[in-house]
Amino acid sequence: MFREARQIVLDACHELADIGFLPGTGGNVAFRASSDVIAITPSACDYYTMDVDDICLVELATSKQVFGQRRPSVELGIHSRLLTYRQDFHASIHTHQPVASAITLLQRSLPIDDADDRAQLGSVAPLIGYAPSGTGFLARAFGKGLRREASAYLLKNHGIVCGGASMPQAIANVGRLERAAKRYLLARLTPGLSSQIRDLVVRSLSS
Ligand SMILES: [Zn+2]
């Protein structure tokens, strides 16, 4: 059942894990398999031992699981809200990627400075207020914070969510958000910082 959609989710997990954006079992990925069913990663499962049959299928409107032995990701509510709100999106990604997640500690929305990135992400990645991960509180806060023009969101003290019309586009948006977060941090390094420390930060942010 919808094996191709489940394979797309699995391949995306490997791609994101390979670049360090899905540390441990953190983060999750969803893909629209049909008008009313989404494929989504299972909860707390290692991405490299995960099999295509571990990817769950869930009804978008009811959250009822229709395929898979494992429990769907605890962030199902976030993905289903994004994919319901944005009918033009087919893919939704939540990560704990290093720099953009660090930005969420600053407790402010992230302006997107690059014109190409703005065309894809919107002019700002809105900050969603804090609620514990995997809870209905977080899913509801996310639902309230959705903006028509935004494809990327910061979850306060937690991580990020990006959507896209396709899985490659959603993955590209995740990368765009990370680069925008790096540029934002670099631009705010105080001039008083010793050049040694500044070089160290620039090197680590550029790697
Ligand atoms: Zn998370």
Q: How far apart are CA 182 and CA 48, in angstroms?
A: 27
161 Cα to the center of ligand 1, angstroms: 9
What separation in angstroms does the CA of 40 have from each of 55, 97, 104, 135, 145?
A: 6, 19, 24, 17, 22
Q: Are 113 and 184 in contact (CB under 8 A)?
A: yes
pTM of the complete model? 0.93
Helix, strand and coil percent figures for the chain, each rounded to 5: 45, 20, 40
**pLDDT for 18-42, tens place per residue?**
999 988 788 999 999 999 999 999 9
Domain boundaries, the chain: 3-206
157 Cα to the center of ligand 1, angstroms: 10
CATH superfamily of 3-206: Class II aldolase/adducin N-terminal domain (3.40.225.10)
* Residue 39 neighbours by CB under 8 Å, 6+ apart: 2, 5, 6, 8, 9, 30, 31, 33, 55, 56, 57
**pLDDT for 175-189, tens place per residue?**
999 999 999 988 887
158 Cα to the center of ligand 1, angstroms: 6
Q: Are 182 and 118 in contact (CB under 8 A)?
A: no
- What pLDDT score does 182 carry? 92
Q: Indicate if the pLDDT at residue 190 is higher than 70.
A: no
200 Cα to the center of ligand 1, angstroms: 28
Q: Are 131 and 141 in contact (CB under 8 A)?
A: yes
Which residue(s) pair with 32 in the sheet? Answer: 38
Q: Indicate if the pLDDT at residue 5 is higher than 70.
A: yes
163 Cα to the center of ligand 1, angstroms: 15
192 Cα to the center of ligand 1, angstroms: 34
